[in-house]
């Protein structure tokens, strides 16, 4: 069989197995031969390292990961791809495909079972319909992983990696920085996929932090403040948080000032320590 980035090879494999792309499952497969080796290298696939891949497609990235890593476990929701993957990845002894929905899979149990005493990284060309829920779920579970290297839509990459306090920041950027150090690695044009999506993409890496960069007394309160603050990003933080948290402005104003936040500021101007200071003061107030 020829390279899995070759369009003729892909068509041949698809025809043989009667496979058609599912738009609903975000199936845009990589056909640019330089992309997968780079994701694998920069994602940390190496001897002694275990890789979790989300969404194998026909296995083009999986093969590059398997060439470099100790072991690859791939979670793929579409059972129609299983016979294709058995053929395209048949030569690799270090690949396991799990036919599961990544949002329902018990990743902690999979890591403990499949990668005992191995350093683990996540690599994927993510299905775009579900990028943020997958990233947040990976981070919130506090899995024993070193990094998450993923292809996402270019706009999403900018938002995910935007530092809090910058114009492109949002609830996702604040949440991502609570758990990791994000970085945009390289751009990938829409022509690098089959079928070509309507937008360009970027590969990003989230290096997981050993501990959050800010001290938060109650994580639920912290994330409620972050989500609430960005729910109406054009309004002032005083107005937005007052309606999102159902608190009178007269109660909220001194609390914001104590936290070093101007009540007239917009959410995108706030830093992570400021979000933490607001949520810690709210938490103290509720306890007293």
At its nearest, how many Å lie between ligand SAM and the CB of residue 105? 8
Q: Which helix (H) or strand (E) holds 161?
A: helix 154-161
Options 27, 180, 240, 274; binder of ligand SAM; rule CB under 6 A: 27
Q: Does the footprint of ligand SAM cover residue 56 (CB under 6 A)?
A: yes
At its nearest, how many Å lie between ligand SAM and the CB of residue 90? 17
* Pairing mode of beta strands 201-208, 180-188: antiparallel
CA distances in angstroms from 12 to 15, 90, 132, 197, listed in the order given: 5, 17, 33, 21
Q: Does the footprint of ligand SAM cover residue 75 (CB under 6 A)?
A: yes
Rounded CA gap, 86 and 88, in Å? 6
Contact region for ligand SAM (CB under 6 A) — 10-18, 98-106, 141-149, 159-167?
A: 98-106
- Restricted to residues 206-265, the positions that interact with ligand SAM (CB under 6 A) are none
Nearer to ligand SAM by Cβ, of 141 and 251: the residue is 141
Residues 6 or more apart whose CB falls under 8 angstroms from that of 6 comprise: 31
Nearer to ligand SAM by Cβ, of 125 and 202: the residue is 125
Helix, strand, coil percentages for the chain (3-state, nearest 5): 45, 15, 40
Q: 83: closest CA among 1, 8, 17? A: 17
> In this chain, which residue has its C-beta nearest to ligand SAM?
55
Options 101, 106, 219, 258; binder of ligand SAM; rule CB under 6 A: 101
Nearer to ligand SAM by Cβ, of 79 and 117: the residue is 79
Options 86, 103, 108, 112; binder of ligand SAM; rule CB under 6 A: 103
Q: 24: closest CA among 176, 130, 157? A: 130
Q: Do residues 30 and 197 make contact, with C-beta atoms less than 8 angstroms apart? A: no
At its nearest, how many Å lie between ligand SAM and the CB of residue 74? 8
Rounded CA gap, 9 and 262, in Å? 59
Nearer to ligand SAM by Cβ, of 76 and 268: the residue is 76
Residues of this chain that interact with ligand SAM (CB under 6 A) are 25-30, 54-57, 60-61, 75-78, 101-103, 125, 127, 130
């Amino acid at each position: 069989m020829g390279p899995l980035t070759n369009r003729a090879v892909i068509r041949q494999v698809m025809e043989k197995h009667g496979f058609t792309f599912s738009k609903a499952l975000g199936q845009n497969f990589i056909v640019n031969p330089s992309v997968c080796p780079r994701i694998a290298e920069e994602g940390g696939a190496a001897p002694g390292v275990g890789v979790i891949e989300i969404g194998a497609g026909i296995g083009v990235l999986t093969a590059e990961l398997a060439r470099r890593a100790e072991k690859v476990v791939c979670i793929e929701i579409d059972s129609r791809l299983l016979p294709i993957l058995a053929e395209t990845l048949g030569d690799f002894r270090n690949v396991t495909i799990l036919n599961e929905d990544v949002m329902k899979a018990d990743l902690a149990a999979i890591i403990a079972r499949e990668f005992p005493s191995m350093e683990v990284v996540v690599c994927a060309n993510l299905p775009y319909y579900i990028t943020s829920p997958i990233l947040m779920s990976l981070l919130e579970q506090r899995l024993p992983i070193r990094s998450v290297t993923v292809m996402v839509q270019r706009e999403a990459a900018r938002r995910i990696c935007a530092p809090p306090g910058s114009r492109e920041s949002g609830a996702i950027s604040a949440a991502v920085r609570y758990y990791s150090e994000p970085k945009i690695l390289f751009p990938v044009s829409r022509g690098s996929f089959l079928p070509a999506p309507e937008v360009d993409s970027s590969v990003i890496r989230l290096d997981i932090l050993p501990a959050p960069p800010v001290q938060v007394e109650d994580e639920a309160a912290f994330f409620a403040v972050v989500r609430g603050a960005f729910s109406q990003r054009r309004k002032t933080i005083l107005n937005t948080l007052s309606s999102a948290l159902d608190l009178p402005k007269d109660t909220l104003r001194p609390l914001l000032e104590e936290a070093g936040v101007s009540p007239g500021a917009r959410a995108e101007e706030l830093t992570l320590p400021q979000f933490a200071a607001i949520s810690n003061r709210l938490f103290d107030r509720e306890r007293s």
